[in-house]
Structure formats: structure tokens, C-alpha cells
Structure 1
Amino acid sequence: MAENSSTLGVTNDQQPKRPIRLGFSLLIGPACWLGPYVGVSATLLPAKIGQLAPADKVPLVAAASAIAMTVATIANIIAGALSDVTRSKHGKRTPWIVINSILSALCLVGLSMATSVTMLLVIWGIYQAVLNAVVAPMIAQISDRVAPKWRGTISSFYGIGQAFGNYGSGIIASQFIDTTAVGIQVLATFALVGGLLSAFLAKEPSNLDEPKVKFDASTLKQNFMFPTKGARDYYLALAGKMLMVTGQYVIVGYQLYIFTDYMNLSKGATAASIATMSSILMVTGILFTALAGPISDKIHRLKAPVALTTILLGVGAFFPFFSPKPWTMFAYALVAGIGMGAYNAVDQALNVAVLPNPNSAAKDLGIINMANTLGQVFGPMIAAVAISTMGYKAMFPVETIICVVGGLLIMLIKRVK
């Protein structure tokens, strides 16, 4: 991948060796913020909603997704922008990661104790705000502290962490479908310990020597507004990512109900099936994430791998369309795990490569990573419409179409090979 001086925090010459310690920080970090989020949103939150309001569980899951979208979209951008201008002896990212990891764990504990749908949704909204104040500063460290020649490799560390969090959480959460409060509290512990450990391993240096930012009109435009100059490829990456995540969460957002309502499994069989599916996704995801990042660094290609793996995710969705049997979801998990693993290995490297301005990296990456939030919201909402109008079977080709369009948008990027 080309080295563009306009988008570098660290040059290749300044970083001859792989920043392995930072890599492990960026493995543990996403595992321990994404794991609790996915475990709760995909399994334990729907289960708790089903306990509190069984007759309205499908629209309430969609409502929870809408709240998540609204709060997280705003929080991701604002927290990223504020971390860009933070000056402290612990750097500009670490204070945000530490404080908000603690707050996110407390929110999850509160969520576990909610006794009404209203209380549940309010706490869920607060949790989204503090969670995204962890996410935006954390991912910006790739832009801040990793040279272009190592970004595929370090993006692989981040992707492996995502795989552990995304899929390992399903294994954990599936054990607590009947005891949701305990399950949420277990995941809160992961959020707390993992966030603090990630910040410790990152060992971010002081940035007190950096010029303090004056809040005039120019600063507000650079640090708090959507980028406009030289941002074509940036927005293509954002749109492609949003469609990929949307397609993924068409299924993930309703995986519990796919097993119980579409495949008519018992609670025990559902728990076992979710655990099996999550295991397949995790193993394939970790394996292909570990392989794809270093290969991307070696061949100097980012665009095609991201586009092809996005399309591959959609291909896997056809299996459960043809038969309402658990094995079809396992087949989907195998194909999706391969695609998501390779995608996660190079996705963040691609995002960094298309940044319009390195001085607003966290804010701009926050906007791109807003695609995660939007996708995680749009996916369940689209699935809810498909389920209510045409039945569960309709959701699977919908995912395929969304992912194919996302892959094609990625291929339109010009700046990156």
C-alpha cells in the first residue's frame, strides 16, 4: 500500500519493527468492548425483552436498535473529536478509554437489574454513549502510532480481537438465556478488565508537548464537522462498511429468533445451536484474520480483499434460505466466518488509508465506524420489516443483496489498491 505523507502519524522509517505491544492492546481492547456489546445486544437483551414484554419482543428489539443508532452515532463522532484535541500526560486516547470502560461496565450492571422495558431502554441508550467513547479513541491509535507498512498486521490484531468479541460472546451469552442478569454482569466484568488492560498495554506517551487547540471557527470545522475536502474515497469506504455490517446484522440481530421461531427449536437446542454457530464463526474468523493481514501487507493490496469478503458474507446467507434446519446456520457461520475474518484483518487499514486529515483521525474514524452503529441498527430494523411482511425466509436474500452492493462500492475507491 502506498505511503501517503498527508495521512501518516508515523512513517515507515520511524517504525522499523512491528509495534507488537500495541498490537496486543488492540487485540484485547475490541474483544472486551465488542464482546459484551454483541453478547448483550444479540442474545441477552432480546432474551430480557422477551421476559419483560413477550408479546412485543420483535418491535422492542427494533426500538432498542433505533436508540442505539441515535445515541451511538452522535457519541462516536463527538468522543472521537474531543479525544483528538485532548492533551494529557497519558496521551489523548488513554483517558477516554479508561474512564468510559469503567462507565460502560457500570451501565451493563444497571441493565442487568432493569425491571421494566422503559428502564432497560434508557440504560441501553446511556451505555451506547459511553461505549462509543471507548471505541473511537481506541481505533484511532492505528492512525496515530502505526506506520503504513505495519497497518495490515496491526489491523489483524484488531480483527482477531473483534472475532473473539463478536463470536466468543455468543458462546458465553448462550449459557445465560434463562439467567440474563448474571450473563450481563459477567460480560460487564470483561468490559471493565479488558478496557483497563488494553490501555495499560498501549502505553501511550504524553502529548502535553503538542500545541493546545484553540476553539475558533476553523478548529470547529476541522475537528467537529464531516470532512468535505478530498473525501470521495472516505465516504465510499463508509458506505461499503455500513452495508456490510447492515447485511451481517440482518441475521445476527435476530439469530435467537431464527432458531426459536424460524427453526422451531427448544430453548436447550437454541442455546446449543448459538454456541456451535459462535464457535464456528470464532475459529474461522480468528484463523482468516491472522492470515489475511500479513498477506495484505506483503501484496500491498487492501481494496479488493475488503470488497470480496463483503460479497462473500452475502453468499453465505443463502444456506438458511433453502432450509430451516440448524445445519444451514452452521454453514452460514462457516462462510461468514471466513469472509468476516479476512475482512476484519484489512478493514481498519483501509479506513486509515482513506482518511482526509490525520489531525482529525479519531473524529473521522469515528464517522467511518459510525457505519458499525448504523449497520447494527439498520440490519435488525430491515430484518423486522422483512419478517413482519414476508416471514423469516425473506431476510436471507435481503442480506445477500445488501452485501453485494457494499462490495461494489468498495471497488470504486481510487486512492488505495
Structure 2
Amino acid sequence: MPTQRVRATWVLTFSLAVTGMFVGWYGPLQILLAKQADAFSPGDKQGALALVTGVGALFSLIANPLWGALSDRTISRFGRRLPWIAAGTATGVAGLAILAVARDITMMIIGWSLVQTALNAPFAALTAAIPDQVPVAQRGIVGGYFGVAQTVGAAAGASLAVVGGSITGGYLACAGFVLVSVVPYLLIRRDHVLPAALRPAWSWRSFLTGFWISPARHPDFAWAWLTRFLMNLGNAMAVLYLFFYLKDEVGLADPDGGVLILTAVNAATLLITVLVAGAWSDRLGNRRVFVTWSGVIMALAGFLLAGWHSWTGVIVAALILGVGFGAFTSVDFALMTQVLPTDLDRGKDLGVINIANSMPQVLAPAIAAPIVAHAGGYPTLYVASSLFALAGAALVYRIKSVR
């Protein structure tokens, strides 16, 4: 268990690397994949986007815990995590390059699946670096910077997707940022080297069965996982069709620019709350109340989107969603690191937790597409997303070992 506080240099380089991962994911997710789906399959753009993002999320579902578990067992003079950050980033950039030259839905699926698979390696390694190196009393504020990095990455990804000037230019701009973002963190070379004597014994059976963490033996871990899953499912359903919502429901003439503006508005409020909530929860020693109120606030944003179909309404909802998701992002991550079953399997266990991030990306298209097409359209979609957020807000109080 780390006891020495990390320095500002580590926090800043770590945050930049995380920002790069989210540029690689959210530039495509917010704008570029939707534009490609609209271009390649205009008659069924929602279904095409759901297919591409759903298949990619399936790869993410497997990749994150797999890379985390492998990094737990990596013996290298550079450390356990750094080799996976370097290799995964380079491969993810190659996936973005494939998307840049894609000419049909099949190539989109191949490129996006590679991006999801590869970028989960550095993300799993970076996530595990927090419990590796940050003491518990500092995890709220570092979790806040982790949330800031995600927000800045999403905003920067949307910006690069637009200023790239075309679909191809947008992907290449995102790829360049991803590649550069990890260099400072790699150069400081702060990582734990795993002695060969402490390397867990290898067997495929124990490796595969290790991904099952018994809810009966570790109930707080299970409730924390379910809370994160429900909150992220609500959020994923809310943002999946934002481009199409602005274009078809709100009637915005420039949905690309609209997504960019909304991302900036959301980021502005999120950046404030993610740091305030993380530091505040450190001082109070109480995580659950912040998670609960963040779910309530996120649900309010969804209800607004369901009933107020105007550009003004979307702006207000983006502001509110930034407040809620900002508080959730920082405090929930700190909470998660406090319910991990063992120290030696941090990467794998956090990978299992991160399934609660990636699985909603699989399920959101499967749930959202039929709702939009056959069950009431966008109003029903946003009501459903709010209900998932409220369920997560309520269940966090089943966690007993963390206040």
C-alpha cells in the first residue's frame, strides 16, 4: 500500500496520458463514427452506428481485464505497466489510421475494434497506476484529475474531429494527439518493477477463473461494480445518439458544431465539479453521498433532454450533466480503489471493474436502437437513461466498508 504522496509532475504527465486515451475514443464516438455511418448507410445510420460501436465495445469488454491481468504479471526492467502503455498506444494509433481510410461499414468495424482492443492496454495500465502509487488519502484529488483528463480528452477529441476538416483529417488529428500524449509519462519512467520471485504462478485455469470475483466473498466490490455499471449505462445511452438527436429531433443545422459546443459546455462544469468533489470527499472521508447525488443530477439532465427538445434545453442539460458526471467520475474511482480484493491483482481487478465501463457500450446500442425506432423515440430513450442513473445512485449505499 503506497504511503508517499505523488508529486505534481507525476499527476500532470499521468493526466496527459489519460487525456490521450479519451481523445482516441471520444473523437470517433462523438462525431466521426456517426458521420461515417451516415455516409455509408444513410437509410439505417442508427443501426450501422450501433453495430460498429457494439462490436468494438465487445472487444473492449475482454481487452481491459486481460491487459490488466497481464500487466500484473509483467517482468520488465521498465516496470509492469509502462510496456503496455507504449505498445497499446502504438497499436491504437494504427486502428485510428484504418478508420481514417475506411470506405465501408466492415472497415469501420475492423478499425474501431482494433482501437478499442489496443487502447484498453494503456488505459488498464494507467488505471492500475493509481492504487500502485497513490496513497488512499490522496486518491480523491488524483481521481479528480483522472476525471479532468477524461473530460478534456472528450472535448479535445471532439475538437480535433471537427478541426481536422474531414473524416480522414479528424481521425489523423486524433491519432497524432494520442501518440504524443503518452511520451512525457513514459519518459519519467516511474513504475514498480516486479521481482521474478513475486510473479504469480501461471496457469490458464487460475488466470481465467481469476476474472470471477465472488459477490458472496467480496460483496462491496460487487455492489461498487453494479453501481458503476448502471451509472455508465445511463450515460452511454444519453450520449450515443447525441449527433442524431441534434440533427433529427432538435433540427440543428450544424450538428457537428453542436456536439463540439455541448462537449465544451459539459467539460466546463465537469472540470470544476470533478476536482471539488474529489478533494471534498478526501476531507470528509465519505464517498457514497457524492455518488448518490451525482446520479440524481445526471438523471435530471436526462429528463430535461426527454422533455425539452430545443437548443437551449440541450445546453442546460449539458451543464447539469457535467456537474453530475464530474462528481461521479472522481469520487467513484476513489471508492473503487478502496474495495479491491487484493494488492497483487490490482490491474486485473480494476480491469474487471472497467467492464462496468465497457459493457454499457455494448448494451447501450442494443437498448437504444429499438427504443428510438419502435418505442417512443428520443424522449423514451432519455427517460430510460435517467432511470438507470437513479438505480445506481440508490445502490451505492449497499457498500458497507466505505463511507
Q: State TM-score, norm by structure 2.
A: 0.95
- 3-state DSSP class of the match of 1:91? coil
- Please, which runs of 5 or more residues in structure 1 have no aligned partner? 1-8
> Equivalent residues in 2 for 1:200-349 (5 A)?
200-201=187-188, 203-208=190-195, 211-216=198-203, 219-220=206-207, 224-228=210-214, 230-266=217-253, 269-349=254-334
Give the aligned partner of residue 413 of structure 1. 399
The one-letter code matched in structure 1 to 2:141 is T
2:102 corresponds in structure 1 to 114
Render the CA deviation track for 1:148-197: whole Å, top value 9, x for unaligned. 11111111111110110123322332445x71110011001111111233
Q: CA deviation at 1:70?
A: 1.6
Q: How far apart, CA to CA, are the structure 2 residues paired with 1:116 and 1:411?
A: 46
Q: Distance in 1 between matches of 2:298 and 2:66?
A: 31
CA-based RMSD: 1.8
Name the counterpart of 1:3.
Answer: none
Residue 207 of structure 1: how far off its partner (Å) = 3.0
1-side partners of 2:162 and 2:232: how far apart?
22
Alpha-carbon shift at residue 219 of structure 1 (Å): 4.8
CA distance in 2, matches of 1:53, 1:181: 18
The separation in 1 between residues aligned to 2:193 and 2:201, in whole angstroms, is 19
Q: Which amino acid aligns with 1:94?
A: L
Contact 1:101–1:196 at 8 Å: present in 2 too? no
The offset of 1:220, in angstroms, is 2.7
Q: Give how far 1:217 is off.
A: 7.2
Which residue, 8, 13, 23 being the options, matches 1:25?
A: 13
Secondary structure at the aligned position of 2:252 is classed as coil
Residues 29 and 198, structure 1, Cα contact 8 Å, conserved in 2 = yes
Counterpart of 1:403 in structure 2 is 389
- Give how far 1:18 is off: 4.1
- What is the aligned partner in structure 1 of residue 341 from structure 2? 356
From 21, 27, 30, the counterpart of 1:39: 27
Measure the CA separation in 2 of the matches of 1:201 and 1:241: 32
Deviations 1:262-292 (A, max 9, x none): 11222xx323322221111111111111211
Letter in 2 for 1:279: A
- Amino acid in the other structure paired with 1:373: S
Secondary structure of 1:358's counterpart equals: coil
Query: 5 Å matches for 1:21-100?
Result: 21-100=9-88
Q: Structure 1 residue 385: deviation in Å?
A: 1.7
**CA distance, structure 2, for counterparts of residue 66 and residue 152 of structure 1:** 32
Q: 1:79 to 1:160 in 2, by over 3 A?
A: same
Q: CA deviation at 1:209?
A: 6.0
- The TM-score with structure 1 as length reference comes to 0.91
Q: Deviations over 1:47-66 (max 9, x none)?
A: 01111121121111111122
In 2, Cα distance between equivalents of 1:327 and 1:198: 40
Inter-CA distance 208–44: structure 2 relative to 1 (3 Å threshold) = same
